[in-house]
Amino acid sequence: MAHSSLQDGIDQAGSPIGLLWKPNAEPWTPEVVAREFVGWRQEQAAWHEGVALLNLSHHMYDMWIEGPDATRVLAEYGANNFEKFAIGQAKQYVPVTRDGKIVTDGILARHAENKYLLSGIPAAQHWVRYHAEKAGYDVGFVTDPSSAFRPGGGDPKLFRYQIQGPLALELIEKVFGGPLPQTKFFHTAPVTLDGRSFEALRHGMAGQAGYEFIGPWEHAAHVHEAFLQAGEPLGLVQVGALAYATPSVESGWVPSPVPGIYTDPELAEYRAWLPLFGIEGKRPLNGSFFSENIEDYYVSPYELGYGRLIHFGHDFHGRDALLKARDEPQRTKVTLVFDPDDVRRVVGGGEDPGFVLTYARHRVETAAGLVGTTMQTASIDPAGTVLAQSLVDSAHAAPGTEVSVVWGEHPGLGTDPEADLGFPRIRATVRPSPYDSHARTEYRRDA
């Protein structure tokens, strides 16, 4: 029996919005990892004030891309610069549709001349594989889904552990008996621990120093235990699923934007190829901002801050659209800092609201009306309030601008998108994105 496709789901629901709109959807958090180890507040504090261990082994999709045409297909369907892509380097891969809308990003690591690993949310992996197979590129693919979707269960092929925070480098030196080789940002260095070989990716989160260690799963337990033992005197904190989902709000990364694939007639075959029970068919939309047109949720890579990654020195799918969009008005990515009293009043009923996390698209308004939407909202205890990564009209993006966030869940189809549903407002102040000053300055220059 044939499995349902994304296009089947859209047809049955009557529209992409009919398929995806899910009021009060539970927010995604990493699978398998405990929700909390010592409490989300202490875990957030660890990467700001001490040292934190984060387990990324289970929620990442991995796809190995290898063959004579590996670079060709990635360059033809991604906007990045492949002329300057060293072996051992990683990049944020930016695939776009022919209309210049992002499919989603991913982390692309070059392992050899014609071998890459693309990791993250699988929409970018689907995009590359479909076009490679359709056009007959000489390239092969090996995939490893996340632990929640791996057929038959079993272990991942790779472990991924992040060591982050002001004390991260001190811990790493303790584990490896000295400093790691000098490594550029988003480049890897080979490392060995007790005869076990793997890689160290120079990386950071929310502007903090750190590395991501990646290697064969057979070494996972040994490496994990080595960090735990060496980190105990430094106050190492393991980070659970709740806190793990929040640093992107500080670092300026917008997770899982809506892929711009649902309406283009030329992508009908692609939608028929995609499974319904995948990220494109099951990642829900919700919040106080509602539109019956899915294209109102599409985003440009420029809006996400990826303009610096776009390289027009080669031909690629969507190039003409991005050239045109470069000179057109764009929304600006900002951080909204919620008024703490309003958060307690609206979210917590006058008390501590506890942990807040949502990927809902909430309306951002001024006296002039709608000026943008939130993209991800989370409690950030070191900031003392809730922050929201948001896209707003450029005229309202200056730091210090006062806005309000409409906090509620539009019911969806059958109710006017502009209906006054009596939702409460939370006052908020526009701040830069990334919110973290180090991530916005020194960290970004290193990139």
Residue 440 sits in a domain whose CATH number is 2.40.30.110
The yes-or-no verdict on residue 344 having pLDDT over 70 is yes
In total, how many domains does the chain have?
Answer: 2
pLDDT tens digits, 347-365: 999 999 999 999 999 999 9
How does residue 69 score in pLDDT terms, banded at 50, 70 and 90? very high
Q: What is the pLDDT of residue 151?
A: 82
Q: Which two tokens stand for residue 156?
A: 């991942």
164 and 49 share one domain = yes
Q: Go through the chain and tell me how many residues it has.
A: 447
Domain that residue 245 falls in: 40-60+152-251
Q: What is the pLDDT of residue 207?
A: 58
Q: Which two tokens stand for residue 74?
A: 């990635």
Q: What is the pLDDT of residue 31?
A: 86
Please give the C-alpha separations between residue 428 and each of 81, 365, 368, in angstroms, as whole numbers.
Answer: 37, 10, 16
The yes-or-no verdict on residue 232 having pLDDT over 50 is yes
Q: Report the CATH number that the domain containing residue 244 is assigned in CATH.
A: 3.30.1360.120
Domain boundary among 251, 282, 307: 251
How does residue 440 score in pLDDT terms, banded at 50, 70 and 90? very low
How does residue 94 score in pLDDT terms, banded at 50, 70 and 90? very high
Domain boundary among 251, 275, 292: 251
The yes-or-no verdict on residue 236 having pLDDT over 80 is yes
Average pLDDT over residues 111-122: 96
Residue 399: inside a domain: yes
Residue 34: inside a domain: no
Mean residue pLDDT of the chain comes to: 94
Residue 179: inside a domain: yes
Residue 376: inside a domain: yes
Closest CA to 158 of 64, 236, 237, 238: 64
Closest CA to 357 of 92, 108, 25, 87: 25
242 and 338 share one domain = no
56: which strand partners?
Answer: none
Q: What is the pLDDT of residue 441?
A: 47
Residue 442: inside a domain: yes
Q: Which two tokens stand for residue 94?
A: 């930016």
Rg of the chain taking only CA atoms, in angstroms: 22
Task: List phi, psi (to 5°) of 93.
Answer: -80, 135
Residue 74: inside a domain: no
Answer whether 433's CB lies under 8 Å from 252's CB. Answer: yes
pLDDT tens digits, 288-298: 999 999 999 99
Domain boundary among 217, 251, 285: 251
The yes-or-no verdict on residue 37 having pLDDT over 50 is yes
Residue 256: inside a domain: no
Residue 404: inside a domain: yes
Q: What is the pLDDT of residue 205?
A: 63
237 and 375 share one domain = no
Which residues have CB under 8 Å from 253's CB, separation 6+?
389
The yes-or-no verdict on residue 166 having pLDDT over 60 is yes
237 and 346 share one domain = no
